[in-house]
Structures are given as C-alpha cells and as structure tokens.
Amino acid sequence: MSAEATNPEAAPTDVTVRRRGRARIDLRRLGRAALLNATAGPAPRDRLPDAIGHVAEAHRAHHPEADPTVLGRAYVLAESSHRGQFRKSGEPYITHPLAVTLILAELGAETTTLTASLLHDTVEDTEVTLDQVRREFGDEVAYLVDGVTKVEKIDYGAAAEPETFRKMLVATGNDVRVMSIKLADRLHNMRTLGVMRPEKQARIAKVTRDVLIPLAERLGVQALKTELEDLVFAILHPEEYETTRALVADHPGAADELGAVAEQVTAVLREAGIGAEVLVRPRHFVSVHRVRLKRGELRGCDFGRLLVLVAEDADCYGVLGELHTCFTPVISEFKDFIAAPKFNLYQSLHTAIAAPDGAVAEVLIRTHRMHKVAEAGVVALGNPHVGQEPDGTAPAAGLPPAEDGERVDPTRPGWLSRLLDWQQSAPDPDTFWTSLRADLAEDDEITVFHADGSAPGTISLPAGASCVDAAYAQHGEAAHACLGARVNGRLAPLSTVLGDGDTVQLLLAQDAVSGPSPEWLDHARTPAARIAITGWLRAHPESAAPPAPTDPRPQPSVPADRRSGAELHADLDGEPPAAVRPAGCCTPVPPDEITGFRVRGGSVTVHRARCSAVDTMRGLGREPVTVRWGDTAQGRVTLVAESFGRPGLLADLTEAIAAFGAAVVSANVEPPTEQRVRHTYTLQLPDAAGLAALMKAMRDVPGVYDVSRARHSRGLG
C-alpha cells in the first residue's frame, strides 16, 4: 500500500502521530533468491519456496486465513517455465512476475489474483498453455491470465497494441482484476525502464500517461497511479522532474513543519476524546510540481498533507468539527467525498486549516476502510464474484449469476460500461485507440437522470457532456432521430451542457428519415456519440449540406387573405354601430371569453379575456366594451408552432392544417436558432370549435414539440 501503513485495531481513544514509511522491497535481492531457488531444485512440499516468502508474508498481512499453498504451486510452474529467460536488465525473468505479485499482495489482493499474476506471462512467453493453467488452477485464474495476455503481433501487426488493450478492457468489463494485474505489471516495467533505449522509454511512458494512469485513477488504485505519474514525469519531463526533486531535497524540514501541526491536531482530538491516527503524508513529485505551478513559492506544509484515520464514518465529521472549531479553516478547500463519493469509489473529507503560527496544512479525514479503498481501489474489493467486503471478508450470500451466463461484477463503473459499448462501434484500431485516449482524458464524471414514461434511470457521462451525449448513451443509434430534450422539465437544445443530477427527457422523431446534423459533432463529448454521428454522416453525405427547397406548397411568406372572421357584436349603449374586429395579439375565436375596447377611429378591438393587453388597456383608463359572438361558427386564429428543424417539416405542417379544412391566411417561418424553428400561422377556421383538435394534430407532426395561440403584442391602437 502507501508509505503510511495503518492500524485499524488502535484503541478508541488512542491518537498517534506517525512519520515513518516502509522501505520498498529490494527486487534485485528477490531475483537472486529466485535464481538460487531455480538451481537448488523444488522446495519440500510442506513449505513455500524461499523466493515467494515475501509475497506470502504480505498476503497474510491482509488475509490471515488465506492458504498460500496455491501460490507455491503457481510459483513453481512460473519459475520452471521461465527458467533460462532473462530480462533486459540481466535478471532472471521470474523476478518480474514475482515483483508484480508482490505489488498486488501489498495492496491487499486476494489469492486468485496473486496466483494469476504469478502466471500472467506464462501463456504469452512460454510453452504453458491456457488449458494447462485452467486444469491446474481453475477457470478464474485462466480467465485472468488470458485477459492480460497480449494478442499475437504476427496476426495484428501495427494494430497489436490497441487490440491488446481492447481485449484487456473487454475482459476487465467482466472482471476488474484483469486490469489490476495489468497496472501492477506496467508499474514494475516502468520501475525498470532505464535499460531501454530513450525513444522506447518515451513511447511506453506516453502510453502509460494516456491510458494506464487514467485507468488507475478510474479504478481508484491511487497507490499505483501516483508512482506511475512520478515515473512518467521523470522520463517525459526530465528538466521539470529534476527541478522538483531538487526543490524537495532543499526542504528537508518540511516533514517537521507538518509534524508540528500534526501534534497540535493530535492534542485537539485527544482532548475531544476522538480516537484517531494522524499521519504525515508527503506529496509525490508530480503533486509537488502541480502545487508549485498553482501557488508559486512553496512553504514547508505545501510538501505534504495530514491524514487522519478514524474508526467510523461519524468520527470523520467529528474530527472535521473539532478542526474547524480549534483552527482557522480555509473554507474554499473543503470537499465532502463521503456524502458524495467520487466515481472511482474514493471517499474522504478534504479541508485545510491555518495553525496559530500561520502555517496552512491540508488535511484528509477518512476511516481505515476508506483509506484502504482510496489506496488500492478495486484491488481492495477482492473477488467481485463472491461479493467480498473491502476488508477481505465474504458476506453471508454471494452474488447471483447473470441470466445470460456472463460474470457479475458490482464494481463495474459507468465509465467502463460506456467504453465497452462504444468500442463495439469502432472496429478500426486507429479509431478505437484515438477514441480511447480521448475518453480517458476526461477528468470527472456526472450522473444524470432520464425519465421516459415509466422507465426512470441514470446515465453516467463525462463532465461537460451535452444532451447529444445523453441521447446516444441512452438510445444508441436510435438517437439519430433525436429532435430535442427537456432538461429539468424545460425545453432545451441538444447543445445544452448537462450538470450532475440533471433530469433529461429526450424527444425522438417517429419517422425513419430523421438524422443528426454535422453541428452535433460540435456538442458531442463521448466517443460513442462521435462515432455514431460520424458513421451516419458518412452514410448520408447529402445531409452535410442543407437541402434545396423543392416543396411546391406555401413557403415562409404567404399573402394575407382578407376574409372576415367570426361574427362579433358590441353593445355601445345606443351609440352608432362601430367596426368590431378581433385583436391580432391574441386572435380570439368562439367560444373564447372576450372583452372589447374602443381604439382610434371609433372601432372596437376584441381580446381574449386573459390577454395581457386587457390589463394594459385598463391601466391606461380605457373602459371595456361589452362584446359577444354572433351565430357564425367560423373564426380566424393565429397559432405559433415550435419545432426542431428537419427537411419537409413545413410541408407536413401545412398538410395537417389542410386536413382540418383550415385556410392559411398568412404564414411566417423564422430563421432556425440552435436547430429550433418558430412557425406562425394565421388561419381561417370553418368551425372554431375544432381549434383544439387542429392544435393537437399539429403537435403530432414529427419535430413539433409545442403549438400555442399567439400572445405577441400588436399595439393598442
């Protein structure tokens, strides 16, 4: 695990400060032990080979009840099959699987993972077959070994590396332990990369930076991620690395400054009766480099953080309360990842406090279990198929198998499900490799809720994703027909960027001809969306340009028809009759409740009773005039149709209007804005009673999401 080994069995009121770290195992010494073991012959059956003793010791520290016998058998097979093979450093090859297994053992991996890690290169580099591994160690171990075995370069050529990662990721979707072994394998290879040519070092370091480190972050294996970051930093940025290394070397007293703050924190917690262990946690080189870029000149406390470990979740908040009461908190630094865990299982409270002498120290507060998961991530979760707890114990009942026979993995996160979905649409290795790096470059994840009828659910998306991404995440290629969305109940364009916790309802066209526009690519963040959109546009090149207008029916400007509307009468108390006309702002039709007002020229304008112009007229001191409908059933009305643009939409709308016998008096189509189009029609109705049915028919036209009576202001006369 990390340098700060913890003791979950500490007494409830014991508060300790620790600054010591555990030395890294000497892998060269392990290599010599392996070589001696190889020449001395097999070990007696009643004890493990000497070379694997370190692994067994680390394994027992996390799993006291584990039987290490199977590890001994796996080591014997690995050592005998790799005998005579050497690494480029000159060490016996068996030192590599031993080192990988030791890394995983220190992180708390269970026996099956360690067995597979000892054998992870046998099928790829020796005469051992996968069937042999399956016969001797079972299906679980064989699956893990196969998952990390590279594809044959002779079969895939230059595509071997991306196809190997594709294979590993698909296997990881079934069992995350596959990627755990790969990450430990890459860590040991990076530790010993110095024997390679500089150009090969750089190539491997870039792949590690772009793919393996993001995967370690997403799987929560911080202990591996931080060391990989430092190793990559040294290779790809040697000057910055040396500057940072020298900066750390020039501040040997940084740990003492943090230690002084730690002692103050210890005293506060002891007085409050909170059992805790306070650790001084040095930053790794990349972290120091980032802090220096952010803050400029560094002080002693900037070279590390304090880690406070407690027994229960409630104690975390108790510690937080005491620290914020007895020290000056830096509120902007507070984050609660316990109430809202990160998508990679990480839980902790983050804060920063200012000591009386002005030193500001960052503090991490978590339970022992949280710390184990924070350091080891999915490795600490053990075998996902028996539902082990993070402490290695198994619950009363295991997980049921999936209906389709696939393995069930409760640790499979949303980002991995998305990746496995879109990789199926990227058969080209270059597309897959480019999309994988782009997907892993996203630093955060959000969860949005979709509610389509009776099927509410959640969608996991990268931060910055839009409605376009949500559409393809939920509907796959059916999202080609997406017309728009409602975000938190309000209509929104597909370009809308979603936030964590938003509710999204996606609107799909019912016809089969709708498709995405090239502009969608500007709003798509996920590879799944970009691959699907690009594929559709390639298959429909005519959609890249706006279609030429070929519809012979009425287009955006139609001359007005001066036919009269429904008959209206005004009661003017014996005054001479005056012209009575419906107001253009609300276009009332029978049987709307109406009221009238005199306007310039002596005529009477009739409004719907709820028209906003009525209140305005009253505010101006205008007296209302009593008006009523005559016997004529026909009427004139102005309707506004809100829609998403698509070819043939205007023709479909006018056809729906014509089907009700309504005549178009005038029509106007505003220029599209963010793929939305507003149509305004003034219609002559043969029977005003059919208005509601006409509006429903217009709403049923694919692409139309709302139809309403006009409410614009036309002046007050």
Sequence-separated (6 or more) residues with CB below 8 Å from residue 303? 248, 251, 254, 255, 258, 282, 283, 288
DSSP-assigned beta bridge partners for residue 239: none
Nearest residue to 89 (alpha-carbon basis) of 37, 27, 148: 27
240: CB partners within 8 A, 6+ apart: 233, 289
Dihedrals phi, psi of 280, to nearest 5 degrees: -90, 120
Q: Which two tokens stand for residue 223?
A: 């202990």
Would you call the peptide bond into 591 cis, given omega within 30 degrees of 0 as the criterion? yes
Tell me how crowded residue 697 is: count the other CB atoms within 10 A of its CB. 18
Dihedrals φ, ψ of 46, to 5°? -85, 5
Cβ–Cβ under 8 Å, residues 501 and 444: no
Half-sphere CA count of 566, side-chain side, radius 13 A: 28
695: β partners? none
Q: What are phi and psi of 673, to 5 degrees?
A: -130, 115
For residue 16, CA distances in Å to 11, 266, 383 come to 10, 7, 33
Q: Which residues of 628-649 are buried (b: 16+ CB within 10 A; e: fewer)?
A: ebeeebbbbbbbbbbbbbbbeb
Pairing of strands 704-709, 635-644: antiparallel
Each as own residue / partner, the long-range contacts of residues 232-237 (CB below 8 Å, 24 or more positions apart, any chain) are 232/190, 232/205, 232/208, 233/285, 233/286, 233/289, 234/285, 235/193, 235/201, 235/202, 235/205, 236/202, 236/205, 236/206, 236/209
Cα angle: 95, vertex 97, 102; to 5 degrees: 90
Integer Cα distance of 268 and 271 in angstroms: 5
* Coil/strand/helix, residue 661: coil
CB atoms closer than 10 angstroms to residue 198? 9
Residue ranges of alpha helices (H) inside 208-284 are 213-218, 222-236, 238-249, 254-272
CB-based contacts of 461, cutoff 8 Å, min separation 6: 418, 445, 446, 447, 448, 469, 470, 473, 498, 525, 526
Can you tell me the distance from the alpha carbon of 171 to that of 134, in angstroms, rounded to the nearest whole number?
A: 16
> Catalytic residues, which ones?
124-125
Element holding 73 (H helix, E strand): helix 69-82
DSSP bridge pairs for 350: 335, 364
Alpha-carbon gap, residue 361 to 620, rounded angstroms: 66
Helix (H, G, I), strand (E, B) or coil at 166: helix
Beta partners for residue 308, in sequence order: 278, 365
Cα distances (Å, whole numbers) of residue 340 to 314, 317, 343, 440, 501:
15, 14, 9, 22, 12
Query: Given the structure tokens 């509610």, which residue do they identify?
Result: 451
d(CA 240, CA 381): 36
Nearest residue to 447 via CA among 413, 495, 400: 413
Contacts of 100 (CB under 8 A, 6+ apart): 117, 120, 181, 184, 185, 187, 188
d(CA 640, CA 421): 41
CA separation (Å) from 449 to 130, 455, 507?
Answer: 43, 10, 15
